[in-house]
Amino acid sequence: MVVILSAVAPRRVGPRGRIEIGPATVPLVILGMLVVSGVVTGRVLSETLIAGGAWRILVLFFCVAYASTSTDVTGVFDYVAYHLLLVVSGSGRRLFFGVYLLASVLTVFSSNDIVILTLTPIIFHIGVHARIDVKPLLFAQFFGANTLSMLLLVGNPTNIIIATSLGIDFAAYLRAMWFPSLVAFAVTPLLLFLVFRRSLPQRVDLHPQAMFRIRNRLDAAISVGLLALLFAGFVTADRTGMPLWFVALLIAAAFTVEDLAFTVWYEARGRQTAHPRRAGGAGIGRRRRIAPHATFGEPDPPVEPESALRSIPEVTNDLYLAHIRVPWKILPFIIVCFVLVDLLASQGVSAPVGRWLTAGDALTSVTLRTGLVGAVTANLVNNQPMSMFFARAITEAPTAGGTTHVRAAAYAAIIASNLAANLTLLGALAGLMWRRILAAKGLSIGYGEFLWVGIRIVPVVLVLSLLALALVV
């Protein structure tokens, strides 16, 4: 509970607020106490993070995050936002449903994490160009990505965790998940529209002084190409046999080389393309705009580079700008969550849970029980540790070995791990990262505000999806 609270309500204390009490510090203190007390040993850490495969998930997630922030540095997302406004022809509702559809479709061909991290800057820039409140669009994007991410096995790392534990292949997964995914995909935007119908602008027009500027055309072209390779690598991973984490790592390495090369090139040419830019904000290497919608708040003060590239001005330092916006501070929080969940499993908690989840004769009761409990659990400990625990629990159930009840419980847990991300910001890694990215841009979406939206949508979508699963599994 202490670890969760550190992520929900971070604080700074001490002289001038130099001591941070948050997801970057409290989990490390808790882990240190567990190590000193002997509860957590080196063997436990090794089994959880290395043998258990948690490191693969972390590599995948943060490499995808870096690919997104590096692309944003070039101004590509600003360009996309500007032209998306032209396409919707001034219709606020069309833009709302268009963002939901775009996020959903892209998720099918990549993963929910990369879609959320990629589209978030685009939507932010839409608000800058059109001077509108983009919160309804952000929720449409976030909910869309976390809904259709359960359609394919590669749509979410949690899908992979649970499906591979049960020996479920790509084709079998699709046969079971297409119908509940379709139900969730159809119901979610209707409920979202009911929630936000009064907040949507009737018209969305470009502000007369809206403008954008690509930082460097070659830099932008390379970034778009690398991002396309990342999407292609995820889509073809099942056929090539290349792990998703390895695909993401290769692309992130390529982005690092690109950013370093252009940083050196900008410095060599003495190129200063714009005003000094705050880390994580909009307008990288572009002309200063009129202040955006009031929702976005005031700019943060400039941040001094703290790397070996300190001497290079921030505005020309692509490498620094991209890395500083990746929220590394949530890494200790996630690691400790993995360790704590694995400790529960090692104490014999998982087997009884597995027996309870798969008990009973009716498939409907199995799917509803597993899905509802899974969604609540995911919002207590995050959906990836929840998926690891549920995967172990289901495989340790007495009926393990591929029976219908076990498969039904596995698919229900997958549905829960995806839709739970739309209930609270703690439900998924992307939620925590999404909130920090928005905060860096001056837009605040609180935990209570997100819950108030999710609680009116997720329970309905979750129950309908689980009932749909019971019909086809």
Domain boundaries, the chain: 56-200+212-285+306-327
Angle between the N-to-C axes of helices 244-269 and 54-73, in degrees from 0 to 180, rounded to the nearest 10: 30
Give the chain's count of helices (H) and strands (E): 22, 2
- Tokens 């019971």 belong to 470
Angle between the N-to-C axes of helices 135-147 and 112-130, in degrees from 0 to 180, rounded to the nearest 10: 160
Looking at residue 307, its pLDDT comes to 41
Give the mean pLDDT per block of 10 residues along the chain (473 residues).
58 65 76 85 81 80 84 78 69 87 78 76 78 89 93 82 81 91 97 93 66 78 91 81 88 94 82 41 35 32 40 65 78 81 80 86 90 94 86 77 81 96 89 83 87 96 97 90
Tell me the C-alpha to C-alpha distance, in Å, between residue 40 and each of 55, 333, 445. 18, 16, 35
DSSP string, 384-410: HHHHHHHHHHHHTSTTTTT-HHHHHHH
On the 0-12 / 13-18 / 19+ scale of CB atoms within 10 A, 307 is: exposed
- Tokens 């001038």 belong to 16
Looking at residue 316, its pLDDT comes to 67
| Whole-number Å distance between alpha carbons of 438 and 452 | 18
Looking at residue 62, its pLDDT comes to 85
Tokens linked to 415 = 């549905």
Looking at residue 89, its pLDDT comes to 61
Helix locations, 88-156, DSSP H: 92-109, 112-130, 135-147
Helix locations, 202-361, DSSP H: 217-235, 237-240, 244-269, 318-324, 331-346, 350-357
Looking at residue 7, its pLDDT comes to 56
Read off the pTM: 0.71
DSSP state of 24: T
On the 0-12 / 13-18 / 19+ scale of CB atoms within 10 A, 397 is: buried
Looking at residue 221, its pLDDT comes to 92
